[in-house]
Structure 1
Amino acid sequence: MSINTMLNNPRLSVSDEPPYDLLQSFVRDNHIALEGSGEGPLKGLVFGVKDVLKIKGSTWGNGHPEWLRTSDPDDFTSSAITKLLEAGADLVGKTVCDELCYSISGENWNYGSPVNPHDPRRLTGGSSSGSASATAGGLVDFALGSDCLGSVRVPASYNGVLGIRPTYKRVPTDGEAPYCESMDVLGFVANTPDTFKTVAREMLGNDKENVQFKKLLIAEDCFNAVNQDVADALNPAIKHIGNALTSVEKVTVSPEGLDKWVEIFRIIQGYEVWQSYGGWVRKYRPRLSRGPKERLEWASTITLQEYREAYAQRQGIIDRVNELITPDTLLCLPTAASVAPLKSAPLDEINATRLQSTYLLCISPLTGTPQITLPMVKQHDVPLGISLIGAQGTDLTLSEFSADLVDSFSAK
């Protein structure tokens, strides 16, 4: 069956008016656009910013109209945005995100859900949904997003763009809406390998040490966590990546089981999210959609003792991953459990896919390691991402290596 696409939209430019965008990627109530300065390396590129970052004189919505209503105009601009503007890129608008960023579906019942330009019948993935949609649809060259449990990686995978969750604290998070302090990071997506590399050099800066990747570890337990047809569809990408390295080896990432790691992640995330949102929720009693509401209610029940125990167990996970992923080694795994689910799929099926995906998505945030999703293959005529995780601090080398892999795979 032929799938209608919306991949070739006219690129946006700086305007005082909110963009007219068929993909519903951009916010309208608190629109802001800014021209880049100077003749830097990003001159000529346009970008969007997830609506969780401060921009002086504007307000932020964090995916919920009550957050927007109760926010004062910002008195400074996030340094991540300032760096991009000073490098010459033009900001054309703020992008829609999932409600309070507490979701990876890409749906937002308050503002409308951004469209997956590869197939509008399918979910976009979130919570950086608008950023990925706008980038895949050609409205922008790249976009900023935040990522805790896959909020850059999942929409990048579903929308067929390169996306990175950097090493924890590699990109400054000043001016970001509070969420999960010990695991949330700022990342970005880009529509071409060349753009991805150019933005990476500006956003990430140079790695402290020069490394050369030699070994590829295939995360066998991660591939076992997805359906066999998904694992099979990724085989051409795995082969291509392996051919670029000296050796390939299969490993079990979590000897005790990825489900144990997911539970540790959920407790840490839930407790920290409630510390960020609990006071605001109690004060304003916002109307929340089902998913975020249920997750916040559960998060409010996590005790400090449970959090401390989970945080202590986290160190064992960090030690295990650091043992596996040395600076010359990459870990390969599926980005998400499937291609973007159909919006019409039964809720229990979508929830089951979400649970499968958490096994894959928890590794990087628990350990602070950089992860990039590569748009190399398709299944059912839509993108299916494969990921590489590197050692902490290898972000730029990993970005350039990943972009070159996508380039060479596309040329085959």
Structure 2
Amino acid sequence: MTTLPHPSPAPLGHSAQPESDLERRKRLRTVVAASLLGTTVEWYDFFLYATAASLVFNQLFFPDQSSFVGTMLAFATFAVGFLVRPIGGVVFGHIGDRIGRKKTLALTMFIMGIATALMGVLPTHAQIGVVAPVLLLLLRILQGFALGGEWAGAVLLAVEHSPEKKRGLFGSIPQIGLALGLALGTGVFAALQLLFDDAQFLAYGWRIAFLLSLVLVVVGFVVRLKVDETPAFQVVHDLETRSSAPLKDIFRGRAARSTVLGLLSRWGEGAAFNTWGVFAITYATSELAFENVPVLLVVTVSALVMAALLPVSGVLADRYDPKTIYTVGIAAYGIAVFPAFALFGTNRLIWFAVAMVVVFGIIHALFYGAQGTLYASLYPTEVRYTGLSVVYQFSGIYASGITPMILTALIAVGGGSPWLACGYLVATAVISVIATSLVKKDDLYL
């Protein structure tokens, strides 16, 4: 059995070799660019599919179904990406803990870019029949596999390079990439719908958004190749203290407790993001009968507000602690669910926009900015990549991927009323608050 030291033999943010102030600033700028650009590109690719599932894929790849069934099938293929992400998390987590963060992140970006670009040239159901949704599903599986290793690596790239008193701020950087990626995806879709009429957009306009990924991937890939390996991992590598079985080690001893609590604590965050960033698009355009472009613009603006406020969450995490900020933010999300859907129910775009900016742009930023640093604190360097990947990606199955399907089904059961769905979302917040509160100071490695 592998015995994990506590604390980690490789303190975060401390380089094994002395460096000048100029070298340190240059290294940190490269780290920020690599973490931010990389996660922006990868999440743009992943959530571009979510937007397309709401507006395009239900028509082009599942056209013979009713509106409800077609939407559910489109969301089902969306959920498959989350089902595959744990596999990618385990595979890339092991690679990242064994050979390093840098090479692993370059590989995940390459796979994601190829999968997304191929979606942009995929024939539709009208052209090749049932083969079309099958190919779409396979590419979605490839996307999920790549993203499984992305988030944890990007967080570690930032946190393990960070100055000791700015770990929260640096840990919020990859989260900014998620918000920007979502904003870019919805923004591009909105722009394309303004440039093309409905027939042109369904015929070829939507493909431009997917093919654009190739350009973004090249830029992100080049920047990531320039970044140095993290100091914390380099120390572990030099001392030859790497874990031989990181997946087993995160389910042993005190690490097992951290893993279970991490999995439960993420339930609220995952449900919240996919409610406001994915499900709300379909709900607003179908149940509320809003036009596509205004809804996409509301989500885009909300995501940009989130991106602007995420560093504030990181600073608060440094001033207090990530656990406190995360817990307060999740509790605020639970309190805001019913009022948000009440504002949705006014059937006025302005109140829909206000609700989205508050719950998605402000409240989500509060806890999401602290999440990366909190989860990085749960594990020592030797198994940190695997631990973060397992917590984030396995919880993604029940916390994120199936949320749009659950909400759609609960609203249908409730005869169109959203209150059963709201009850479910509040329950996820309660579970997350309790689990996060149970994390003890002695459980943390930062």
TM range (shorter): under 0.3
Higher relative contact order (CA 8 A, sep 6+): 2
More helix by share: 2
- The structure with the largest alpha-carbon Rg is 2
Task: Name the TM-score, length of structure 1 as normaliser.
Answer: 0.26
Task: Name the TM-score, length of structure 2 as normaliser.
Answer: 0.25
More strand by share: 1
